[in-house]
Structure 1
Amino acid sequence: MKIYKANRKGFINYLLIGSLILPIAIFFMDKSTFSEKPFILLPLLSPLILIFWIYFDTSYKIENNELIYRSGFLRGKIGIPNIKEILKGKTMWSGIKPALARNGMIIKFNKYDEIYIAPENNDELISDLVKLNSEIKITEYKPK
């Protein structure tokens, strides 16, 4: 079993910083509200907890001939023999995305299914997948 960390670059970092600053800024703008009603802080901290969960929980691993992904509440398994093609360096803007960064890879499996993941090192994960299924077609995406 090998675990691949998620690439944590880009927009997720700005979202995390922004969600940290918002409750602090509101607290300093009106301290009396928080001293009178401390429970009002809970709605401000809920998104922060969700973002932290996704940020620290996102990872991928290969185990028992399956690619296992997890990112917060998104969890699943892909049978490596079912993988048909990997588009390396491309970002998918809709669909299932257990990823935190751009320029990851789109994995096409079964007949019409695809998922976007973004490990720290695309090449390492691709080489390990190809060792287990040599029929995977690798396509390098080059922007125009």
Structure 2
Amino acid sequence: MKVYKAKKTGFINFLLIGSVILPIAIFLLDQNTFSEKPFILLPLLSPMILILWIYFDTSYKIENEDLIYRSGFLRGRIGISTIQEIQKGKTKWSGVKPALAAKGLIIKFNRYDEIYIAPESNEKLVSDLLKINAGIKIIE
């Protein structure tokens, strides 16, 4: 089993910083807000917890003959033998995206399925996939 960390650049970092700064800014503007109305923390902390979960949980791994992805509540398994094509350095803006960055990999598998992932090193993941299924078409 080989694990590939997710590339963590771009918009996700701004979301993370913003979700941390917002409660601090509200506290600094009015220090009595949280003591008088503690329930106001729930809508402020919920998005931060979700973003932190996705940020630290996103990864990909090759186990046996499967590519396994996980990103927060998005989890799945793709049979490497079903992968037909990989587009490198592309970004997919819709569909299933267990990724945190741009310029990742669009993996087309089965007949009409595709997924976008963004490992730290596209080259390492692609080369390991090609070792298992040499018939994968690579598009740069």
State if a TM-score over 0.5 links the two structures.
yes
Residue aligning to 1:39: 39
Aligned to 1:58: 58
1:115 matched residue in structure 2? 115
Q: Residue by residue, what CA displacement relative to the aligned partner does 1:56-82 show, whole Å, maximum 9, x if unpaired?
A: 000000002000000000000000000
Q: Show the counterpart of 1:101.
A: 101
Q: Distance in 1 between matches of 2:59 and 2:35?
A: 39
1:66 and 1:103 mapped to 2: Cα distance? 23
* Structure 2 residue 9 is the aligned partner of structure 1 residue 15: no
Aligned length: 140
Query: Which consecutive aligned stretches of 4+ in structure 1 deviate over 4 angstroms post-superposition?
Result: none
Q: Give me the whole-angstrom Cα distance separating, in 1, the residues matched to 2:50 and 2:27.
A: 20
Where does structure 1 lack aligned partners over 5 or more consecutive residues? Answer: none
What is the alpha-carbon distance in structure 2 between the residues aligned to residue 117 and residue 55 of structure 1? 14
DSSP 3-state at the match of 1:7:
coil
Counterpart residue identity of residue 50, structure 2: L
- What CA distance in whole angstroms lies between the structure 1 residues aligned with 2:49 and 2:81? 36
CA RMSD of aligned residues (A): 0.6
The amino acid across from 1:55 in the alignment is Y
Tell me the residue number matched to 2:88. 88
* Partner-residue secondary structure (3-state), 1:31: coil
Equivalent residue number for residue 48 of structure 1: 48
Please state how far the C-alpha of 1:32 moved relative to its aligned partner: 1.5
Aligned partners of 1:34, 1:95: CA distance in 2, in Å?
Answer: 39
How far residue 133 of structure 1 moved from its aligned partner, in angstroms, is 0.2
